[in-house]
Amino acid sequence: MNEQHLRLRARRPLYHRDGFWAFLMLLPNVAGFLMFILIPVVATFVISFASWDLTDNFRFVGLENYAELVRDKVFHQVFWNTIYFTVVSVPISIVLSLFLAILLNQPLRFIRFYRAAFFIPVISSMVAVAVIWQWIYNPQFGLLNYALSWFGIEGPTWLTSTRWAMIAIIITSIWKSLGFNMLIFLAGLQSIPESYYEAAEIDGARWFAKFRHITIPLLSPTTFFITVMAVINSFQVFDTVYLMTQGGPARSTSVLVYYIYQNAFQFFQMGYASAIAYVLFFVVLFVTMLQFWRQGKISIY
């Protein structure tokens, strides 16, 4: 009976088989993955060992591009600018978004309006955000320096100062991403059962004790997800720098992705840009794996 069933199944037309339709449904995603992810990743890896200026002058140079990274002082500055941006922006963004999520988790009037208002920057165009913040940072008639003047403080030239330009980029980036992190934290907070807090109140626990012993531990998966995504996004920051400072002044705001863009599409050094891209890839991979390892170590204890 089984053999007869198999023979009848083998005679069925191809379009009558479940596997055919499953493959057909998956084909657009598979094609998109191959065309826009896998093939470019492999091609970039090959180009990183070559010298190419987008013309016929393609020649393999081995590890020369990677050796040049060691000697390139601009790459060193750009690399540390990216580290500085990540180290400063990620913790501040996480703390502020958690604070906002706790505030917006309260039974307040117009709470949906407040949540939507804080999420609007996330869905706003980065071009519009850059224009608004360039006006805010303007040293003559900008809103920020005007507010500082109320306290007798003379505001700096934010976007043209080597000392303050990166701080301005960090503030703008935090403002842009704050609503997304807040929304994820808010979902995590609302998933914590109220019975835990009620039991803690019966035991006489105050607000900080409940926050420390209930909220923080139960939010650890959410915090881990936000931290990983924030770190990855901070290493890939580009549009804020490109639109507001273009890496200046004196490369004080130039970051790795912007340096990749310059080498590839301004200097036409595709091999060198590909080598920087792979260095960035391995740095992000290392930092992400380190966070996963720490999360596993914390959960063991």
Does residue 255 sit in the same domain as residue 153? yes
Does residue 34 sit in the same domain as residue 160? no
Structure tokens at 286: 């290392």
- The pLDDT assigned to 186 comes to 95
**Rounded Cα distance, 28 and 57, in Å:** 34
- The pLDDT assigned to 300 comes to 40
What are φ and ψ of residue 31, in 5° steps? Answer: -65, -45
Confidence of residue 4 (pLDDT cuts 50, 70, 90): low
Does residue 89 sit in the same domain as residue 13? no
Does residue 225 sit in the same domain as residue 130? yes
Mean pLDDT of 116-140: 94
Structure tokens at 166: 């990166």
- The pLDDT assigned to 7 comes to 56
**Rounded Cα distance, 127 and 240, in Å:** 9
Mean pLDDT of 4-26: 65
Mean pLDDT of 158-172: 96
Segments forming the whole domain that contains residue 30? 2-47
- In which element (H, E) is residue 59 found? strand 59-60
pLDDT digits (tens, 9 = 90+) for 52-100: 998 888 999 999 999 999 999 999 999 999 999 999 999 999 999 999 9
**Rounded Cα distance, 89 and 230, in Å:** 9
pLDDT digits (tens, 9 = 90+) for 199-253: 998 888 888 899 999 999 999 999 999 999 999 999 999 999 999 999 999 999 9
Question: Domain for residue 10, yes or no?
Answer: yes
Q: Measured in whole angstroms, how far is the alpha carbon of residue 245 from the centre of its chain?
A: 19
Confidence of residue 301 (pLDDT cuts 50, 70, 90): very low
Question: Helices 256-265 & 270-300, crossing angle to 10 degrees?
Answer: 160
Percent of the chain whose predicted confidence (pLDDT) is above 70: 92
pLDDT digits (tens, 9 = 90+) for 17-49: 677 778 888 889 989 999 999 999 999 999 999
| Domain count of the fold of the chain | 2
What are φ and ψ of residue 153, in 5° steps? Answer: -105, 130
Question: Domain for residue 127, yes or no?
Answer: yes
Does residue 241 sit in the same domain as residue 180? yes
What's the pTM value of the predicted model, to 2 decimals? 0.88
Does residue 31 sit in the same domain as residue 158? no
Please report the DSSP string for 109-127 in residue order: TTHHHHHHHHHHHHHS-HH
Does residue 243 sit in the same domain as residue 287? yes
**Rounded Cα distance, 209 and 1, in Å:** 68
CA distances (Å), origin 11, targets 2, 20, 106, 116: 14, 14, 64, 58
Does residue 196 sit in the same domain as residue 104? yes
Half-sphere exposure of 47 (CA within 13 A, CB side): 21
Does residue 269 sit in the same domain as residue 128? yes
What are φ and ψ of residue 89, in 5° steps? Answer: -75, -40
Does residue 95 sit in the same domain as residue 203? yes
Does residue 143 sit in the same domain as residue 267? yes
Question: Domain for residue 55, yes or no?
Answer: no
Does residue 24 sit in the same domain as residue 77? no
Q: Which of 100-104, 130-134, 211-215, 291-295 has the lowest mean pLDDT?
A: 291-295
Mean pLDDT of 159-167: 95
Q: Measured in whole angstroms, how far is the alpha carbon of residue 60 from the centre of its chain?
A: 33
- The pLDDT assigned to 107 comes to 85
Mean pLDDT of 252-267: 96
Residue with tokens 């393999």: 60
Confidence of residue 9 (pLDDT cuts 50, 70, 90): low
